[in-house]
Amino acid sequence: MRLTVFWQRMAEHFGAGYADSFARDHIMSELGGRTVHQALEAGWDAKDVWRVVCTVMDVPGDKR
């Protein structure tokens, strides 16, 4: 998954204003105790990060 697609999906689910805030502030144990931004910067694949976000935040199946 390209980062542009990842961020589009984040904005669609959380709203454009909240997506970045969530990605910066919400620490997830599934990402090794990292935020979305930290996981991406650490080299995690965007698709894997999106899967974690979907699981943790109960993103509906049609949005995954």
Q: What is the pLDDT of residues 3-36, one digit of tens each?
A: 999 999 999 999 999 999 999 999 999 999 999 9
Sequential DSSP letters for 21-56: HHHHH--BGGGTSB-HHHHHHTT--HHHHHHHHHHH
Where in the sequence is the domain holding 32, given as residue range(s)? Answer: 3-63
Please report, to the nearest 10 degrees, the dihedral formed by the alpha carbons of residues 23, 29, 32, 33 taken in order.
Answer: 60
The total domain count for the chain is 1
pTM of the model: 0.90
The H-or-E segment that residue 21 falls in is helix 16-25
Q: How far apart are CA 26 and CA 20, in angstroms?
A: 10
User: Taking the CA of residue 48 as centre, how many other CA atoms within 13 Å lie in the half-sphere pointing to its CB?
Assistant: 11
